[in-house]
Structure formats: structure tokens, C-alpha cells
């Protein structure tokens, strides 16, 4: 529990960046932004911002029940479609999205 508290600010920073900025990018570029740009950037700051190892934004923003509901309603069962639905569900405004189909 103490570890979760120490990584919360970094996790929230990455999650909000994900929701705000990745909607218009391809799956590969989304992964590169998170894993090759943003994560190294927050870890190299002075002082570094701790984040959860293996952070997966989907597990923090949605759950299997919601994903199954989206799939039953016709959402394709792929990572990018699920990310798009998660971004839409967590946005107050209409984000720019890329259609993976």
C-alpha cells in the first residue's frame, strides 16, 4: 500500500497524458510514446517521479466487465479499440481518435 502511494503521482501523470494525447496515434506510436518517451522522461527528472513497474493504463482506467460490455455491443476485441473506448469514456470533451479498422 505504501508503494502504491509513492507511485500514484507518476501513474496519474502518465495516465492523464495518455488520455489527453494518444488518441490520434497508431498503436505502435502509442506504445513508443509511453515506453520510450514518457516513462524514461519521468524517471530521469531530478528528483525522479516514481511510477508503477509495468504500468498498463487500461487496467487502471477500466475493468474486464466494462471491456466485455463494449465487446458485446460490437466493439472489436483488439487493444487499440479498447484503448479508444477507454479514452472516450474518460474524456470530458471529444478527443481526436484514429480508427484502427
Contact 39, 54 (CB under 8 A): no
Tens-binned pLDDT, residue by residue, of the chain (101 aa): 455 678 899 999 999 999 999 988 989 999 999 999 999 999 999 998 999 988 899 999 999 999 999 999 999 999 999 999 999 999 888 777 767 66
CB atoms within 10 A of CB 69: 13
Determine the distance from the C-alpha atom of residue 48 to the mean position of all C-alpha atoms in its chain, rounded to a whole number.
20
Provide the 8-state DSSP code for 38.
Answer: I
**pLDDT score of 1:** 45
Compute, in degrees rounded to 10, the torsion defined by CA atoms 58, 63, 65, 70: -30
Nearest-5° Cα angle at 47, 10 to 6: 40
Contacts of 95 (CB under 8 A, 6+ apart): 19, 20, 23, 24, 87, 88
Amino acid at each position: 500500500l505504501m508503494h502504491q502511494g509513492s507511485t500514484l503521482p507518476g501513474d496519474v501523470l502518465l495516465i492523464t497524458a495518455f488520455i489527453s494525447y494518444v488518441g490520434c496515434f497508431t498503436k505502435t506510436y502509442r506504445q513508443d510514446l509511453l515506453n520510450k518517451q514518457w516513462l524514461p522522461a519521468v524517471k530521469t527528472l531530478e528528483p525522479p517521479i516514481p511510477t508503477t513497474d509495468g504500468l498498463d493504463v487500461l487496467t487502471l482506467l477500466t475493468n474486464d466487465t466494462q471491456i466485455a460490455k463494449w465487446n458485446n455491443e460490437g466493439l472489436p476485441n483488439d487493444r487499440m479499440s479498447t484503448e479508444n473506448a477507454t479514452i472516450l469514456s474518460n474524456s470530458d470533451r471529444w478527443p481526436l481518435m484514429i480508427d484502427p479498422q
